[in-house]
Structure 1
Amino acid sequence: MERATHVALWFLQRLEGNVKSEVGPMQPRELLALVRRGEIKPETMLRKDDSAWFPASEVGGLFEAAYRPEINYYCPSCGKQISQPPVTCANCLHDVGAKEAREVKQAIKAIPSDPKVAKQSSADDGQRSVQSWLRNKVARKQK
C-alpha cells in the first residue's frame, strides 16, 4: 500500500503601509529562495498549511538551510541534471549509482544578516568538505 506524501504549503504575511496581505501557497524550496533574497527575515510572519501565524525565527533550521549550498547532480552519460542518485536518468535511461553522478554545489549569493548563521554554515561546509575528501580517498583505495 502506497503512502501519500504531503508537501507542506507555506504562506507569508506582508505588511504594506497599514495593509496586511497573504502570499502563498509556496513550496519549501520557494520559501528558501525568499530567505536567500532577504525577503523573509526572522520577524516575518509565516504559517504552515492551516496553522496559526508565527515568526520565521521559530521555523527550526529555516535560515541555516537557506544558506547551505544547493547540490545539483548530473548524469555521467548525457550530462543532464538528475535527482539525487541512485536514480535512472530520464533522458538517456542510464542507471546512475550513488557515487557515479557529477555533483555541483551552487554557491548562495546572499549573505546572511545573522553572523551566527554565517559562522555555522561555514563550519558545516568545512566539515562536509573534509568528509567528502575522506570518502573519495577511501573509495580510491578500495578500487
Structure 2
Amino acid sequence: MSVWFLQRFEGNVQSEVGPLQPKELLELVRKGDIKPETMLRKNDSAWFPAKEVGGLFEAAYRPVIVFYCPGCGKKIPKPPVSCRHCLRDVGANEAREVKTAVTSVAPTKPQPTPSAAADEGQRSVQNWLKKKVARKQK
C-alpha cells in the first residue's frame, strides 16, 4: 500500500508530515489542512502540488458510507463481516448503511460570480439532485 507525505510550513520552518494512509489524507483535505497548493509526495516520489493528485478533492466531497451491525448497532467494516462487538455474522444485505454528507470541506477553487440566470439554473439542478438523493434514501 502506498503512503503519503505532505510539506507543512510554519513561518519559515518547513516540516514533513507522514507517512499518511490515503484515508488520513482525505481527512486532512476535509479539515482544510490540505489545499490545492499543498506539496505532497507519494512513497519516495518527487514533491508535487495536491491539485495534481487526480480525484483527491473530488473524493473528499463524496458522501462517506458507514455500516452498522443490525444486532448491536455498532459501527462495522463493509460487510460481509463478523461484528467484533457482538460476534454476529453480518451479510452484505443485512447491515444498516448510512451515507453522511461531507460538509466541512472548503472549496478547492474560487468560484466565479454567476449571472442571475446561471445561478437559477444551478439552484434548479441542486434541488433536483437533493430530491433524487432523498428518494433514494427512503
TM-score normalised by length of structure 1: 0.73
Amino acid at match of 1:97: G
1:84-123 to 2 correspondence within 5 Å? Answer: 84-114=78-108
Structure 1 gaps, min length 5: 1-5, 137-143
How far residue 115 of structure 1 moved from its aligned partner, in angstroms, is: 6.2
Given that 2:82 and 2:89 are in contact with CA atoms closer than 8 Å, whether structure 1 keeps it comes out as: yes
- 8 Å contact 1:67–1:112 — kept in the other structure? no
- 1:50 pairs with one of 37, 44, 47: 44
2:26–2:60 Cα contact (<8 Å) kept: yes
Q: Distance in 2 between matches of 1:69 and 1:36?
A: 11
CA separation in 1, counterparts of 2:53 and 2:81?
A: 31
Distance in 1 (alpha carbons) for counterparts of 2:133 and 2:103: 19
Displacement of 1:111 in angstroms is 3.9
Aligned 8 A contact 2:6 2:40 in 1 = yes
3-state SS of paired residue (2:94): coil
In 1, distance between residues paired with 2:87 and 2:109? 44
Tell me how large the CA RMSD over aligned residues is: 2.9
2:75 pairs with one of 64, 68, 81: 81
Instruction: State the match for 1:27 in structure 2.
Output: 21
Once residues 31 and 111 of structure 1 are traced to their aligned partners in structure 2, the CA distance between those partners, rounded to angstroms, is 13
Secondary structure of 1:36's match?
A: helix
User: Identity of paired residues, percent?
Assistant: 63
- Structure 2 unmatched runs, 5+: 111-121
| Displacement after TM superposition at 1:108 (Å) | 1.6
- Separation (CA, whole Å) in 1 of partners of 2:53 and 2:109: 18
Please list every run of at least 4 consecutive aligned residues from structure 1 whose deviation after the TM superposition is greater than 6 angstroms: none
Partners of 2:108 and 2:18 in 1: CA distance: 25
Q: Which residue of 1 aligns with 2:117?
A: none
